[in-house]
Structure 1
Amino acid sequence: MLDSELIRRHTSQLIRGRYWAREPLGHGGLGIVYSGWDEELQRPVAVKRLLPEVSYNKKHGEAAWNEAQSLAKVTHPNIVTLYDFGRDEEGVFFIMELVQGQELEEWLVGGPLPVEDFYQLAQQALAGMATAHIHGILHLDLKSSNLMVSRSVANMLQLKILDFGLSKFQPNTDVSEVIQESANMGSIYYSAPELIQMQRIDHRADLYSLGHVFYHALTAAPAFASLPMEEVLVAHLYQDPPQLRTLRPDLDPAICHWVHRFLHKDPALRPESAEAALRDLMLIRSHLFRPEASNFSSPLCIVVSKDWNLVPSDLLPFIDKRVTFTGKLEHQDGVVRLVLSGIERAKELTLPTTPDTDLFSTYLQ
């Protein structure tokens, strides 16, 4: 329950002679977020106030500085903008862009995202994190409640990434404290195995968390939501989530495979970067590799890895059983050629691609 006296103090004084905190928008164990107003620039803002006992706690104070420094370095339309930061007699405060919308976690109570909305969500999340990673900033607390979504006037999904409080986390920090804090805040459903095992962490820990956000968005539930809380961390280490295709048979096989790549326990098997994952997603979405219609009665998904070997074995369940692959894939002058032989016919497909493409898909209708 919010402390009415604390709210009265927060909303009755001008911060730095220009910012008002007005109505509480939300609160948690660390602080309260208010709608606010910037008297100098005459614009709405969000005012985030840490609780007094949090403001003067060394660990949380360092996290606040981390968040402020991280946000100050990054300007991106999908990352909340920091306007000001400081400390006064009431403790630490952030003055930020006022983001309208709803937490993705709440949004998904109404059901999984439609495919087009998912593409928009994933593209914006990856674009924002690619920029953060380029600046050397890790988020390390990506989860559905840290993504704010809304609709534009054109009915497009819009996303903002919030809360960089655990950003720039260093491996020599007490990981056990972060894990305990994550469990308390709900992040446990999105925690990377290397974080749980107190191993070296890099940008691919964020990609693992994003993969679980994407899984949540497509199924309306975290991947391990059916497990008791005490088993979730173990599942991140040793258990694979149910295949998306079994839960959403309407989904494109290529997008299912794309999401599951984020969920590998081994960071080396995940996408190499947010930028690379975004490039792959754009290829899938654009259907760049869709050839002319053929006489197959059901869709056939062909996915080729960048080493130009035969189709990976984990994708074979998605391949039409009437088709076998013969010979080797040939790559020359930006073109991949493969020979498909079926029961009734054989056909050579020429598929445009580039040598550094991680993934592409094509469909025979």
Structure 2
Amino acid sequence: MPDRLGRYVIEGEIGKGGMGVVYRARDERLGKIVAVKVLLDAETVGSEARIRLRREAQAAAILNHPAIASAYDYDEQNGTPFIVYEYVEGKSLDLVIAEEKLSPAKIAGIAGQIAAGLAYAHERGILHRDIKPQNIMVTSEGQVKILDFGLAKRTSLALVRSNGQRLEGTTVETVPGTIVGTVQYMSPEQITGEMLDGRTDIFSTGILIYEMASGKNPFEGRSFGSTVGKILSLDPPPVSAYSPEIPQGLQEIINRCLKKSRDERYPSARMLRDDLEKLRASASSPQEPDRYPGLCGALIPRAVARLSLVLLQILYLGIYGAALYHHGAVFTAIAQGLAFFSGGGLLKEIGTPRLWTTAFLVTGCCGIPVRLHLIASVGFDDPETGLQFRKLFPALLMLDEIWALSPFLLLGKWPPGLTLICVVLLAYLPFTHRNLVRNAYAEIWQ
């Protein structure tokens, strides 16, 4: 084990594969813990392994999604290439399956995050081609991370979004007679060396869902040949043969993913994610304790949550417009309130009401583009809306709590008690906003 690679100080070994080893390391400059993937023997593995490692780094570098492990760096030291990834603290999916009997809600939640990450990659022309439990990490908070894009390829076949839009990538061909991937998780077309599209990863995801539900690989045979034969010609036993409690909806999702003909599978990973989200919502129960907070059942249907989010942004834009139009009355009332509570001393320290007017005008002008952005994100169902909102929420909370003071505009027009109720409701509204986003984009909120 090397002591260091570049600026990364090696602290220990995480795991080892056929051609590579992954170390836990510390970034000497930033002081953060990272994972460093290195070829086992850079001198003997050959150029193909180097190309694969570089391809993995390039694929991971352009993918920025909560369900995909982020790549930070790629470098070489003394002829040894290595990739630096974010360090994921958790268990691989094979260990999760071995240690825990997963409920249908948890299965749908984990699989939904995998499908969301694959949809993001596919829509950027990247196939994984080696989806298997060892390449899926699940953190203690329930966040899924897809690892190892070493077999990733760009595709020329059309990929399909949930809205039916077709996307094109660049051309790639698999050399006839070669097999890349892990055979127990390959699609029929991957085994036969055909040109691939995103539906090959959907087939592999179906195998993962089957394993999470039953604890068994549906195609595993006693030999390489028997496994290949099962994948090409035999339908797996129904999951209910191993787990009678599995809902019919989950069985139908698995069956569609594992169709031999890719034309009969889900046309896109995003459509698979949508079905898994519906299943998760119906299978979850508020009374069921869930170790994975990101996978709990939605209390509000996703369509209703999305519509409510759009209407909420319009409401905020209306508040901004009314308050800015009547800003003189609003800020005079605020100044009077501050003077009342501070005996005039505070106003002398912080300046005249014009300062408050300027501050609120600036925050209002900042709030308008944020609201328009959220309307567009929710309206077009941007898959990253949950992550974007989670990052925006602290600043958005401050902005919304400031604007909760806007009902002071009504002082002298409405009874003081009613005005106070409006202020309290507006102060609570950001938390309602947050809950709506969590219901609409639960699988990538974490």
Identity among equivalent positions (%) equals 31
The one-letter amino acid of 2:37's match is K
How do residues 1-365 of structure 1 correspond to structure 2 at under 5 angstroms?
A: 7=1, 10-11=2-3, 13-15=4-6, 18-53=7-42, 57-152=46-141, 157-168=142-153, 172-174=173-175, 176-179=177-180, 182=181, 187-225=182-220, 227-287=222-282
Taking only aligned residues, the RMSD between alpha carbons, in angstroms, comes to 1.9
Deviation string, structure 1 residues 178-220 (Cα, Å, up to 9, x no partner): 34xx4xxxx2111010011111210100100111011111111
Query: Aligned to 1:166, what secondary structure does the other structure show?
Result: coil
Distance 1:117 1:200, change over 3 A: same
- Taking structure 1 as the reference length, the TM-score comes to 0.69
Asked if 1 retains the 8 angstrom alpha-carbon contact of 2:19 and 2:45, the reply is no
Residue segments in structure 2 that go unaligned for 5+ positions in a row: 155-170, 284-446
Larger relative contact order (CA 8 Å, sep ≥ 6): 2
Q: Report the alpha carbon displacement of residue 81 of structure 1 after superposing the two structures with TM.
A: 0.6
Structure 1 residues 72 and 55: alpha-carbon distance in aligned structure 2, compared to 1, 3 A threshold: farther
Distance of aligned partners of 1:175 and 1:215 in 2 relative to their CA distance in 1, 3 Å threshold:
farther
- Compute the displacement of 1:228 (Å): 3.6
Structure 1 residue 56 displacement after superposition? 6.0
Can you list the C-alpha shifts for 1:203-241, whole angstroms capped at 9, x where unaligned? 100100111011111111111235443201111110000
- Offset at 1:110? 2.5
Provide the C-alpha distance between the structure 2 equivalents of 1:220 and 1:231, rounded to a whole number of angstroms. 20
**Structure 1 residue 90 displacement after superposition:** 4.7
Structure 1 regions of 5+ residues with no counterpart?
1-6, 289-365
Contact 1:138–1:203 (CA under 8 A) maintained in structure 2: yes
- CA distance change for structure 1 residues 219 and 228 in 2, over 3 Å: closer, same or farther? same
Q: Which amino acid aligns with 1:286?
A: A
Number of residue pairs matched by the alignment: 267
CA–CA separation in structure 1 for the residues paired with 2:224 and 2:45: 31
Structure with higher helix content: 2
Match of 1:45, SS state, is: strand
Larger Rg belongs to: 2
Corresponding residue for residue 348 of structure 1: none
TM-score by structure 2 length? 0.57
CA distance in 2, matches of 1:283, 1:216: 20
Following superposition, the deviation at residue 116 of structure 1 comes to 2.2
Q: Distance in 1 between matches of 2:197 and 2:221?
A: 29
- My pick for the range that moved more, 128-137 or 113-122, is 113-122
Q: Is the 8 A contact 1:32 1:49 kept in 2?
A: yes
Secondary structure at the residue paired with 1:65?
helix
